[in-house]
Structure 1
Amino acid sequence: MITLLKSAKIIDASSPFHQQTKDILISDGIIKKIANSIPNKKEYQLVKKENLHVSCGWFDTSVSFGEPGYEERETIKKGLQVAAKSGFTAVAVNANSNPVIDNKSAVEFLINKANGFATKLYPIPSLTQGSKGIEMAELYDMQQSGAIAFGDYKKPIENDNLMKVSLLYAQNFDGLILSFPKNNAIAGAGIAHEGINSTKLGLKGSPALAEHIQIARDLFLLEYTGGKLHIPTISSAKSVELIKDAKKKGLQVTCSVTSHHLVLTDNELHEFDSNFKTNPPLRTNSDTKALQKGVNSGVIDIITSDHNPMDIEHKKVEFSEAKDGVIGLETAFGAVNSVLELEKFIEKITSNPRRIFGIETTSISEGKTADISLFNPDEKYTFTKGYILSTSKNSPFINKKLIGKVYGVFANNQLILNS
């Protein structure tokens, strides 16, 4: 199959065609030619879209699918289809399934289940057995089977020595350790950011201090042990400062922020809509602004959707009883594109995550494998339930105005487009 992308503006700092509008000819999954104009022959699969932009394929480093165990939330097949139509050619899948992904057989199950799809799946199995935070899992065996990092999803490692030993042990095979930034003793039973809104609404507060203490502990341990640490989904201004200072010291620490924490605040909680119940919780406007600044300055390395489907039985209940989590694949681009420069978003979701998680980088250049996201960064629209592709519908962006629509991807020699 030969595919021709017509009049595509290339956003790829590693490409000689960066910021240029070109035709792109792809044959057998390889970019054969990039030129001002390539004649359209009848046998070509033609892609011609309004204001078409292309970049290297987007990589989401924190995605949850229900399978195995919670298929009613999202299967791997459905999740990868949603990811492709949302512009992602690769996703890193968390271990929060049933059973938990904590051994080499489970890692291989995920990889085999995802074989043949346009979007590639990379497992992030749990750091500890059963994600219980007691005994370290068989990290080396899982890496040999295809794991790219290790972390207990949304569960902090409370045992200081266990985190220390994990950071030391992973250095033997250049492993990447994830540590969720939350101190449970400080957070307690909090379900919203501790502040004015939680007080007004009568919701138990979870202070940002719980995040700061955990990050500070992990950074002290990292300074002692060496190794590589990734702190997923930070949410506060102070967290940005802590990580900024650690990077100045030369520590190998990276971090991510979710698309919803970059644009939403705890002001959204006044309707007690459980679609806004997240972990970490939505925080203040000053935190959101600090996170945006952290992305622009380079302190924050990665933007993730933190896609976490929840079925209606766990979401359409009282706010205090609802489970945390939002779906985010479909809205990650449109949400963040409204507050960040396009090239900054592309950097945080293409080259940076691949470098940090040890995945080969790509380039939109002749002779390279075609791994491409297709989108229109300028289209404005209101996101409604009709735009939701996921099995679960727990989106915090329903009826929100977004800027930027995704057309689809070309990856693994497959063209996947939104209808």
Structure 2
Amino acid sequence: MTPVLIKQATILDKNSSFHNQTVDIKIENGIITEIAKEIATPENATVVEKENLHVSQGWFDSSVSFGEPGYEDRETIANGLQVAAKSGFTTIALQPNSTPIIDNQSYIKFVLDKAKDQATTLFPIGALTKNSDGQDLAELFDMKNAGAIAFGDYNKAIQDANIQKIALQYVQDFDGLVISYSQDNSLKGKGVVNEGIASTRLGLKGIPTLSEELHIARNLFLLEYTGGKLHIPTISTQKAIQLIKEAKAKGLQVTCSVTVHHLVLNEEILSGFDSRYKVAPPLRDEATRKALLEAVIDGTIDCITSDHNPLDIEHKKLEFDMAKDGTIGLESAFGALATVLPLEIVIEKLTSAKTIFGLPQNKIEVNSTAELTFFSPKTEGTFTKENILSKSKNSAFLGQKTKGKAYGIFNNGKLVI
């Protein structure tokens, strides 16, 4: 394996003794072998030199959809992992919303096999219920043994409280993590956007924040009753923040994430009825966007996800009511986040979530496994179609200002730059 020499990179890693230092880093056989102010270039080495080069622990995205198996026209696992690598992500958690749904060990093995020999590591999330229909628990223990790191039905909330309760009890036998999307379907009804002044003005049916909050409150009550570990993905309301903060204060093992688009965009962008902005949960008002940013900064929200969800034009470029929910987000994640949050917070929220899912954090030290993300924090620009690397083009960030750019990664002994 060719040695890699990273020249004059500023390390951003609070767990490293080299934090905030600008150094050279030498990698041999996938291991960091030397970190110093200056390192002589080894024979045959691949040299990484970039303008304003910064390096951090590898970024992790806790919610990524690709489509394969079944929706290869939207995205394949191979191309999706290349997109993730070029976007700065060394690790992703793959949602089970393919067809068939990833709800047994053979499908877990299938996606892991498809992800072999890639720079970005894929960890599958197994469906919590068979076919993600909310009726019967899937083969959770078998999937855990096959490599699943958590269990959840993507963007589908468990309406049956007893199924939710049994799931939280059952996974404790093998230290499993339950992911619970939050939405009371009866309160959502036929809503397509956030209920409020904007929905009234646009004449679109609204989804009350109560549909998310009621479900979160119920699941936290169940967690208090059962014990275990619960992850609440993509929260989007002020009351949700408060409920989770109170649950953490009680000592419950609950974590949560927020999407990049809920931190950067608000419902005012819907005025053109562009279905690229139709997401689940829906974009909220400006006061809520600011509250979500505050909750990221104060630590109530544990991690940030792109919630990358490629959709083909036939399902996305439709009347707003008819279009599917979802946006791609890997390519735009870092550049968009850096416009609304301090750099150190962005890096922390893109790296620390590994511990929630029981994955190792490889700090930047000599003799550590090299799992690194390369980026520049200052390059300003605009996100355009040329920046989209995914097969699907449904980005809510087209035309948005960006700050900073990902250069690539080193992971699994592979350099993508």
| TM-score category of the 2 structures, normalised to the smaller one | over 0.9
Amino acid at match of 1:342: L
3-state DSSP of counterpart to 2:149: coil
Show the counterpart of 1:360.
Answer: 360
Residues of 2 paired with 1:65 and 1:41: CA distance?
Answer: 39
3-state DSSP of counterpart to 2:322: coil
Show the counterpart of 2:121.
Answer: 120
For residues 3-402 of structure 1, the aligned pairs below 5 Å read 3-351=4-352, 353-402=353-402
Q: Which whole-Å deviations, capped at 9, do the CAs of 1:218-260 have from their partners, x for residues lacking one?
A: 0000000000000000011111111000000000000000011
TM-score by length of 2: 0.99
Residues of 1 paired with 2:126 and 2:168: CA distance?
Answer: 16
Give the C-alpha shift of residue 28 in structure 1.
1.1
Residues of 1 paired with 2:386 and 2:225: CA distance?
Answer: 50
3-state DSSP of counterpart to 1:350: helix
Residues of 1 paired with 2:358 and 2:70: CA distance?
Answer: 29
Give the C-alpha shift of residue 35 in structure 1.
0.2
3-state DSSP of counterpart to 2:403: strand
3-state DSSP of counterpart to 2:240: helix
Amino acid at match of 2:156: K
Amino acid at match of 2:339: S
Give the C-alpha shift of residue 317 in structure 1.
1.1
Residues of 2 paired with 1:404 and 1:42: CA distance?
Answer: 32
Residues of 1 paired with 2:13 and 2:166: CA distance?
Answer: 39
Amino acid at match of 1:196: I
Q: Percent identity?
A: 57
Give the C-alpha shift of residue 348 in structure 1.
1.2
3-state DSSP of counterpart to 1:89: strand
Residues of 1 paired with 2:349 and 2:402: CA distance?
Answer: 19
Give the C-alpha shift of residue 42 in structure 1.
4.6
Aligned pairs, number: 416
Residues of 1 paired with 2:377 and 2:205: CA distance?
Answer: 39
Give the C-alpha shift of residue 79 in structure 1.
0.3
Q: Which whole-Å deviations, capped at 9, do the CAs of 1:334-371 have from their partners, x for residues lacking one?
A: 111111111111111112x1110000111110001110
Give the alignment's Cα RMSD to 1 decimal: 0.7
3-state DSSP of counterpart to 1:164: helix
Residues of 2 paired with 1:372 and 1:37: CA distance?
Answer: 19
3-state DSSP of counterpart to 1:376: strand
Give the C-alpha shift of residue 40 in structure 1.
2.2
Segments of 5+ residues of structure 2 without an aligned counterpart are none
Show the counterpart of 2:410.
Answer: 410
Residues of 1 paired with 2:42 and 2:59: CA distance?
Answer: 29
TM-score by length of 1: 0.99
Residues of 2 paired with 1:407 and 1:196: CA distance?
Answer: 41
Segments of 5+ residues of structure 1 without an aligned counterpart are none
After superposing on structure 2, the runs of 4+ consecutive aligned residues of structure 1 that deviate more than 6 Å are: none
Amino acid at match of 1:194: E
